[in-house]
Amino acid sequence: MKRRKFLKNSTLSTASILSASVLTSCKEQKTLKDTKNIASIKPIAICTWNFLNATTKAWEVLNNGGSSLDAVQQGVMVEEADINNQTVGLGGRPDRDGNVTLDSCIMDKDGNCGSVAYLQNIASPVSVARKVMEDTPHVMLAGKGAEKFAYEKGFQKTNLLTEQSKKEWLEWKKKSEYKPIINIENHDTIGMLAIDKNGDISGACTTSGMAYKIGGRVGDSPIIGAGLFVDNEIGAATATGVGEEVIRTVGSFLIVELMRQGKTPQEACEEGVKRIVSKNKDNTNFQIGFIAINKKGETGSYCIHPGFTYRSYSKKGHINIPSDSYIKN
Ligand code: SD4
């Protein structure tokens, strides 16, 4: 089974991603503190793993002058709707009882955020999370309450368990044992970060979580600060992998704070992963990855896999930034 590739860590060449519309908008960036950085700000969308269709969608939104908030939402919705992606939205692998339960959050340039956890029967949890953000005074809704809220907002009840996921789950059940061993192929959450032409940053994260988890389990992906964090003055980060580890270290918040202290997105992602590893000296048999972006549009990513102590994708990955700036190496 082929492993999805993680975002490459890299400093992008300005020429590869600068566009005319960006230059125009950059001239209008009077509110930014560091005017030296203005010229380097350009729309950009990055995501965990190899979800090129998702970043292509996000790029389309950004290129048409859309906000980073719309870009990340519409970008991750591509994966939520894809039944072949068995770790996000429709077609996601169920918990051990056969229920597909979804976690998602979204955060905008003003620090507004919305989140849903343990949501069932709704195909686009990120869209519900955005409604929580925009239409309620709350940040997070969970379970039945989140589902009821979604129906009130016009979302359709949808059976999320596809034949394929059901078949695999029934196969898994034959073993009749619950071993929360991390199978890296079950970890393909999409976290996406974007900067729009105004230089504003937003992020979103969405997942069906760990396959065959105990019913009721919630991971990091809907938790602001863990699975996602955005500070429009500094940058943003999002996580993929074993949510328990990310929650424990408030991973995405940590990475943004490290960037605040002066680290590049790459350095911050590496430090975030190392922090987690250092707390698990005897057991690094899990997968964790972060991606990050800063206000200048610099990106970073770092990931560990079972069997590897540290593994950066600088050699094997690719930059998942669409349009003509898609780079493979
Ligand atoms: C979780 N972080 O529920 C998610 C899983 C994941 O790629 O990232 N999968 O723990």
CATH number at residue 63: 3.60.20.30
Question: Is 124 a domain residue?
Answer: yes
Q: Which pLDDT belongs to residue 111?
A: 98
User: What is the C-alpha separation between 280 and 263, in angstroms, rounded?
Assistant: 23
CA atoms of 200 and 194, how far apart (whole Å): 8
Domain around 278: 20-311
Contact, 139 vs 131, CB < 8 A?
no
Ligand 1 centroid to Cα of residue 16, in Å, is: 31
Q: Which residues pair with 293 in a beta bridge?
A: 236, 299
Q: Which two tokens mark 209?
A: 């979580």
Residue 57 CA, ligand 1 centroid: distance in Å: 22
Question: What pLDDT score was predicted for residue 18?
Answer: 22
Q: Which pLDDT value is given to residue 286?
A: 78
Q: Is residue 318 part of a domain?
A: no
Name the residue among 322, 325, 313, 327 with its Cα closest to residue 59. Answer: 322
Q: Which of 53, 326, 54 lies closest to 194, judged by CA?
A: 54
Residue nearest to atom 10 of ligand 1 (CA): 243
Closest atom of ligand 1 relative to the 208 alpha carbon: 3
- Ramachandran sector of residue 91 (left: φ over 0; alpha: ψ -120 to 50; beta: rest): left
DSSP annotation of 13 reads P
Residue with tokens 């500070």: 231
Q: Is residue 3 part of a domain?
A: no
265 part of a folded domain: yes
List, for residues 28-83, the tens digit of each pLDDT value.
223 334 444 444 567 889 888 878 889 889 989 998 999 999 999 999 999 999 99
Low-confidence ranges of the chain (pLDDT < 70): 1-41, 176, 179-187, 282-284, 306-329
The answer to whether residue 152 is domain-embedded is yes
Domain count, the chain: 1
Between helices 265-278 and 251-260, what is the axis angle to 10°? Answer: 130
Task: Pick from 181, 189, 287 the residue to mutate for probing ligand 1's pocket: most ligand atoms within 8 Å of its CB.
Answer: 189
The Cα 36–Cα 222 span in angstroms is 35
Does residue 29 lie within any of the structural domains? yes
Whether the Cβ atoms of residue 86 and residue 94 lie closer than 8 Å to each other: no
158-187 exposure pattern, b = at least 16 Cβ within 10 A, e = fewer: eebbbeebeebbeebeeeeeeeeebebebb
Q: Which of 179, 189, 172 is nearest to 227 (CA)?
A: 189
Any domain includes 12: no
What's the rounded Cα separation, in Å, for the pair 203 and 96?
30
Q: Are 227 and 167 in contact (CB under 8 A)?
A: no
Strands (E), the chain: 44-47, 102-107, 113-119, 140-142, 190-195, 201-207, 228-231, 235-241, 288-294, 299-304, 318-319, 327-328
Alpha carbon distance, N-terminus to C-terminus of the chain = 21
Q: How far apart are CA 23 and CA 29, in angstroms?
A: 10
How do residues 240-255 score in pLDDT, each as one tens digit?
Answer: 989 999 999 999 999 9
| 209 CA to centre of ligand 1 in angstroms | 5
- Residue 14 falls inside a structural domain: no
Neighbours of 318 (CB within 10 A): 17
**Residues within 6 Å of ligand 1 by CB:** 87, 187-189, 207, 209-210, 219-221, 240-243
- β-strand 288-294 against 235-241: which pairing, if any? antiparallel
Distance CA 38, CA 295 (A): 9
